[in-house]
Structure formats: structure tokens, C-alpha cells
Amino acid sequence: MTDVRLIELPPPTTTWSLLLHGGAGGRVEELAVAGDGPYADGLRAAWRAGAAVLSAGGSALDAVGASVEVLEDDPLFNAGRGAALTAAGTAELDACVMSGDGRAGAVAASRHARHPVAAARRVRDEGRAVLLVDPPVGAVERWGLERVDGSWFVTPARQQQLARVTRRELEPARHGTVGAVAVDASGHVAAATSTGGMVGQSEGRVGDSPIVGAGTYARDGVVAVSCTGEGEAFLQGLVAADIAARVRYLGADLATAVRDTVAAELAPRGASGGLVAVRPDGSGVVAHSSPAMYAAYADGGRLVTLT
């Protein structure tokens, strides 16, 4: 991740701000979608879901959850239904939410909740744990979440992709995650991230998305960050927390913090990916080094999508 493409966004005219991503790395050939239109439609739908929460005075935490749930239901993105499959052909889903007050919740290898990000939110709200691995059916039912069979997440397109990887006709994609960051009218920030992981991964493999400080981080008065990319590098570099630390302790502006973290933690590992981040004043960045970065954000009152 040496050549960073970075879009800096000034504070918005609204009292809130929302940025989201649909993953980095490029389109999946097996999804057989002509053009970028369907991707842009999915990103716009997700952004509007979060924006509706914020414009009604809702919290940043509720907003990022609403945005990510829409992307989890869209099979074009690697989260929820249509997520990348493990070597065994199953879906093991990871998600994390974190609010600016320092409270977080996450799930790894989730198999029963239709919306893993909602399960992560319940973990946070209960406060008895931060990370739950393979939360059981009973927990999903206790939380009042919609339960689905594991086959619901599996799509023919992802099965075809896995078959090609297994036959070594295709290199396993190491990108693909969805996430959102927001600041609400009260100035609180939040982040949420959700993923199906890497196609053909070993059962039980967990990347950076559900790990606080690696793929997801938020702190009031500082920043909220959601990452996508080569999970092992983001894990070892604690990328999200490192960006926040540069802003918080060194007084770096957000763009500089992102560039310096990439140079220090990702470039030496030869990793690529991207992220979205927002400051309490609503300013933000969209950054990536991968061939593509799916994202949505408002710029001067206009909704922009990257596909």
C-alpha cells in the first residue's frame, strides 16, 4: 500500500457527517454485473439509510449500523448475504461496532444472525464481553435478531468463485469488507465494519474487521475509522488505532495520519487496502491503494459514489 489515493473532505454544511465503504480491491468477476451501476445503487441505498438516522437526530452508532445492514443484504458486497466463502463452502461472518465513548462489540465466525453488525451491536450494549466467537442460536434469539440458516448467506456467484480458487484458476481475493463512520449532531463519532473474510480461507480464520483497533476504531474528540484490505497486515499494524493515536497524541491532521500509518505499518508488509475516517467536525478522508475502492460520501451537498 505504497501509492495512496486520498480524498479529503471538508466539514459539511449539515450538523452530521457519514462516510461508508463497500470494500477495496475491485469487482468480483463471478458476480457478472454489467457496469458499475448496481454497485453505486447499493452504496447510495446504504448511505441514505444512515443519513436518514442522522438527519432525524439519531446517533452516529445507530447510523453506521443502519448503513452496514443495507450492505450486508446486498450480494454484490462481501458481507452478510453474498459474502466470500471458506474453503469448506460456508460463510463465517465478522463484524464490529464502536462508539466514541470507548464501548465496542464484535462477533467473529457468526453463522446465525442475518445481520452480523446487529449482533456486534448487541454484544456492545450488553457489555458482558467485547468479542464473541460463533455466537450461538440462543444468543441471536435472546437479542431479538432475525435468525437465518447458513445457506442464506451462500450465493451461486460465490460458490463459482470458490470453485475457481480451489482449482487455482483464480488467486484468492484478499479484499472485500463493508463499513461506515459517522459523527452525529451531538458531535459523537462511531464506526462499524462487517465482512465475510477472504475467499477460500480456512475455517476459523479471523481478520482485522472485528478486532478493535485493527479494522475498526472510534474515539470522541479524535476520529472514527473503518478499514478494508489485507486483514493480517491491518491486524499486525493495528491500523485504525494507529491513525487515531497520530491524531490524538501527535496532533497530526487526518490526511497526514493516514499517510504516515500506511507508510509505517502497511507498506513494509506489502499490503493494500483502504479506509474511511471522519473527524468530530465532520471532515473526513477516503483513502486506498487497491485498484478500486467502493465508497459513498457527501461533498458539497452532492452524494458521491466511488465504484
Between CA 272 and CA 24 the distance in angstroms is 9
**Residue position matching grid coordinates 471532515:** 283
Between CA 221 and CA 188 the distance in angstroms is 8
Whether 177 sits among the annotated catalytic residues: the reply is yes
Q: Of the listed 155, 177, 195, 216, which one is catalytic?
A: 177
**Residue position matching grid coordinates 452508532:** 61
Between CA 269 and CA 139 the distance in angstroms is 38
Q: In what order do the strands lie in the sheet with 284-288?
A: 5-9, 284-288, 273-278, 223-229, 216-219
DSSP string, 221-251: TTEEEEEEE-HHHHHHHTHHHHHHHHHHHH-
Q: Please say whether the beta carbons of 254 and 189 come within 8 A.
A: no
Spatial CB neighbours of 82, under 8 Å, sequence gap ≥ 6: 74, 75, 76, 153, 155, 157, 158, 196
Q: What angle do CA 251, 211, 5 make, to 5 degrees?
A: 55
Active site residues: 177
